[in-house]
Chains A and B, each alone.
Chain A
Amino acid sequence: MPVRAASWSFTEDDFRAITNALERFLTDCNARCALLVDRTGQLVATVGERPNFDPTAFATLTAADFSANDQLAKLIGENDFSSLFHQGEKESMYLADIARRVILVVLFDNRTTLGLVRLKMRPTVLELTQLFEQVFARAAADPGSMPNVLAGADDEIDKLFQ
């Protein structure tokens, strides 16, 4: 068994609960779009207006941004920075840690305010943290429960690289 980073997966019900929470949040604070990014740089979900940039690149840079800031936090004696804010002339983004494994990114423009986004974000972060902690606890309790779409696909893999 190869030694790998812990894996996790979520069910359709989890996904629905996550997207519902995010949709409610977007309506409440009038933000444009919310993205969930795994700490390793993989995009998990997008809710709201479809972003007009490359979401894969965005996810990678978000994870790197958060990781770099974590290290900066440690240098000044903090454990981490649980949220980050990047202000632009028209577009801004607010990032928050979820269960130390996922990052919630909210994109908003001048139709709303940082104060409102921050205010509405707090209960959403709590709700999502609980949801993700359940998902991780389930994966940790039964790592074999995750479906493996590649099981027995050795021949197909070999063919791909011929």
Chain B
Amino acid sequence: MSMINYASREINCKIVYYGPGLGGKTTNLEHVYGKVAPDTRGKLISLATETERTLFFDFLPVDLGTIRGFKTRFHLYTVPGQVYYNASRKLILKGVDGIVFVGDSQLERMEANQEAMQNLYDNMAEYGYDLTKMPFVIQYNKRDLPNASPIRDLQAALNPGWEVTDSSRMRVTPDAHHPGQNLVERLPSGEWIERAQYFEAVAVSGAGVFDTLKAVSRLVLKSLA
């Protein structure tokens, strides 16, 4: 739930990084924290275990610029990836404005990715949120590893697309980030489908981290406009 504060002229939005354990969600936030100017970000708060696994959440507020005289302030959260922390994962989704799913590209993490995606849909549904109608992007992380699955396989497993029912959206929409691919398209069966935007990343080196953040922030602001 975005909050507009007229007194401090701020628009506050909440973005949650979701995904399987050890997929790189916290690393995304750490990279953002390290790269943005200190006067445009707040503290990075980590509620983690002694072994640096996220216990409850990580939190980082960042300012991404000014629109109509209002500072756009994004509250970035990560959730714990491990399955047995589901109760706290669900709590963090409360009032979310945009979601980034950080998938682990490694072949052997495919099942964990799918479980986390299913869990995301389930937890969102419990709050009455429809993920397919919200700002939602997918990041395929760890693209540099030799055992990374091909993008085509990851897309088929995690981002196969959902049916478009609104006729005003039934037009081919190219994916600006991947020439030759479409976000909305018609299948040979005649059905219209839409996929979430996706980005390839190597979060430890920072590749793709800001592309992902910019894409989801833009979608969030557009959803308010």
Question: Which residues from chain A sit less than 8 Å from chain B, CB to CB?
Answer: 1-7, 9, 15, 38-42, 44, 54, 56-57, 60-61, 64, 67-68, 71, 148-154, 156-158, 160-161
Contacts and interface: CB of A to CB of B under 8 A. Distances in A.
Given A41-B14, A150-B224, A152-B225, A160 B130 contact: no
B56 A154 contact: no
Contacts of A6: 1
A150 B59 contact: no
A66 B220 CA distance: 26
A3 B45 contact: no
B121 to A, nearest CB: 13
B88 A68 contact: yes
A64 B68 contact: no
A38 B3 contact: yes
At the interface, is chain A mostly helix, strand, loop or mixed? Answer: loop
Contact of B217 (A3, A4, A161): A161
Nearest to B42: A56
Interface of B: 1-4, 7, 11-12, 14, 42-43, 45, 47, 56-57, 59, 61, 64-65, 67-68, 70, 72, 75, 87-88, 91-92, 94-97, 127-130, 133-135, 214, 217-218, 221-225
A42 B3 contact: yes
At the interface, is chain B mostly helix, strand, loop or mixed? Answer: mixed
Interface centre among A6, A64, A68, A151 (most CB of B within 10 A): A64
A3 B128 contact: yes
Given A149-B68, A158-B218, 12 more contacts: A2-B135, A7-B1, A41-B95, A42-B75, A54-B43, A61-B45, A64-B57, A68-B91, A150-B225, A154-B225, A160-B64, A160-B72
